[in-house]
Amino acid sequence: MSDNTKAARTLVGRVTSNKMANTVTVLIERQVQHPLLGKIIRRSTKLHAHDETGANEGDVVRIAECRPLSKTKHHRVVEIVTRAEV
C-alpha cells in the first residue's frame, strides 16, 4: 500500500509585515541568471503565511505550503530561523 503524504515544500524568507491578525508577509528572494546577458539578477516574491509563533518584522522565517487558509494565504510559519536585531 502506498503512502500518499507528500513532504511540504519549505522556503526561507524575511518578514516584511506583521500588521495583520495571525498573518505575516514574507519576502522570498532568489538569484537567477539572465537568459540573454548571463548576469545574475535578484528576483523576489511576497507570500502571506499563517503565523502563531509571533514573528516580527525583519525576522528570517521558514514557511511551508499547506491547504488554502484564505484567498491569499497558502503557507504557514514553521519556525523562526533568526530574530531581527533591535
pLDDT-derived band at 4 (thresholds 50, 70, 90) equals low
pLDDT, tens digit (0-9, with 9 covering 90-100), for 24-81: 999 999 999 999 999 999 999 999 999 999 999 999 999 999 999 999 999 999 999 9
pLDDT-derived band at 7 (thresholds 50, 70, 90) equals confident
Residue 80 has a pLDDT of 95
Q: What is the pTM of this model?
A: 0.85
Residue 63: exposure state from Cβ atoms within 10 A (0-12, 13-18, ≥19) = buried
Among 10, 13, 11, 8, smallest CA distance to 27 is for: 13
Q: Confirm if 16 and 26 have CB atoms less than 8 A apart.
A: yes
